């Protein structure tokens, strides 16, 4: 898989606030372009300010599909005031809590990619509980605790279509390398052990898996 976004999209991506390094972004983009060929939507968990969303949006634009991006926009644990990944510009001055939704909307608007993206504002498990459509790609980059990353895997991986992709960010097999915990690594192992996915590429902490086997089981839901 190799592809690069148009220079204006690449520039917008690099200028956007967020946590996706350019070389990992290229791997995500390449998977998204290929996934777009399935004619199914692309789905992201962890919008933040829209940095990775831009790449998915450009891939969606090329294929005529949509991106759905999930975030409550209140930030993960490590992004809260006093923590290492906190950015004071993400705080709503009136309410004194994080709100990345306005920054995300600005990012997409500036890049002229708004029309390819649907923002789902809320908690990932709550949205996954009512989602019932196949997707070409699921990108897991939400909360990094076992509770959150595990729920993202259980809630969304069953919706990846045959031939589609499960992409996981911040996979650190060596505990010495990790900075926000190893939950994404454990999710990556679960995906491989399920027999549903086969690894396609590893670009630093970004893992791209393709669905090659029967879908992992959808968890029993209690509404």
Ligand X SMILES: C[S@@+](CC[C@H](N)C(=O)[O-])C[C@H]1O[C@@H](n2cnc3c(N)ncnc32)[C@H](O)[C@@H]1O
* Residues recognised as catalytic: 144
User: Which is closer to ligand X, CB of 29 or CB of 197?
Assistant: 29
Nearest-approach distance from CB 33 to ligand X, in angstroms: 17
Nearest-approach distance from CB 206 to ligand X, in angstroms: 11
Q: How far apart are CA 185 and CA 187, in angstroms?
A: 5
Nearest-approach distance from CB 81 to ligand X, in angstroms: 14
How does DSSP assign 43-92, residue by residue? EEE--TTSHHHHHHHHHHHHHT--EEEEE-SS--GGGSTTSTT--GGGEE
Question: CA 39, 140, 6: angle at the middle one, nearest 5?
Answer: 55
Q: How far apart are CA 7 and CA 116, in angstroms?
A: 18
Contacts with ligand X, residue ranges (CB under 6 A): 18-20, 46, 48, 51-52, 70-76, 100, 123-124, 141-143, 148
User: Which is closer to ligand X, CB of 76 or CB of 182?
Assistant: 76
User: Which is closer to ligand X, CB of 131 or CB of 163?
Assistant: 131
> Which backbone phi and psi does 158 adopt, to 5 degrees?
-65, -15
Residue nearest to ligand X (CB): 18
Nearest-approach distance from CB 216 to ligand X, in angstroms: 19
User: Which is closer to ligand X, CB of 41 or CB of 142?
Assistant: 142
Task: Report the DSSP beta bridge partners of residue 209.
Answer: 166, 199
Task: Report the DSSP beta bridge partners of residue 80.
Answer: none
């Amino acid at each position: 898989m190799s592809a690069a976004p148009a220079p204006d999209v690449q520039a917008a991506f690099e200028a956007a606030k967020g946590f996706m390094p350019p070389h990992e972004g290229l791997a995500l983009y390449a998977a998204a372009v290929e996934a777009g060929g399935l004619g199914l939507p692309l789905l992201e968990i962890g919008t933040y300010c829209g940095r990775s969303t831009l790449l998915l949006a450009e891939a969606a634009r090329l294929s005529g599909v949509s991106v759905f991006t999930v975030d409550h926009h209140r930030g993960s644990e490590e992004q809260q005031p006093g923590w290492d990944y906190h950015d004071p510009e993400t705080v709503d001055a009136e309410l004194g809590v994080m709100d990345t939704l306005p920054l995300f909307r600005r990012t997409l608007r500036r890049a002229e990619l708004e029309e390819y993206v649907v923002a789902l504002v809320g908690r990932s498990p709550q949205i996954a509980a009512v989602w019932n459509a196949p997707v070409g790609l699921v990108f897991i980059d939400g909360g990094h605790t076992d509770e959150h990353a595990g729920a993202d895997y259980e809630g969304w991986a069953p919706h990846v279509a045959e031939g589609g992709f499960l992409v996981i960010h911040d996979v650190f097999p060596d505990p010495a390398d990790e900075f926000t915990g190893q939950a994404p690594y454990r999710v990556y192992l679960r995906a491989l052990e399920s027999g549903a996915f086969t690894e396609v590429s590893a670009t630093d902490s970004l893992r791209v898996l393709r669905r090659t086997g029967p879908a992992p089981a959808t968890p029993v839901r209690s509404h």
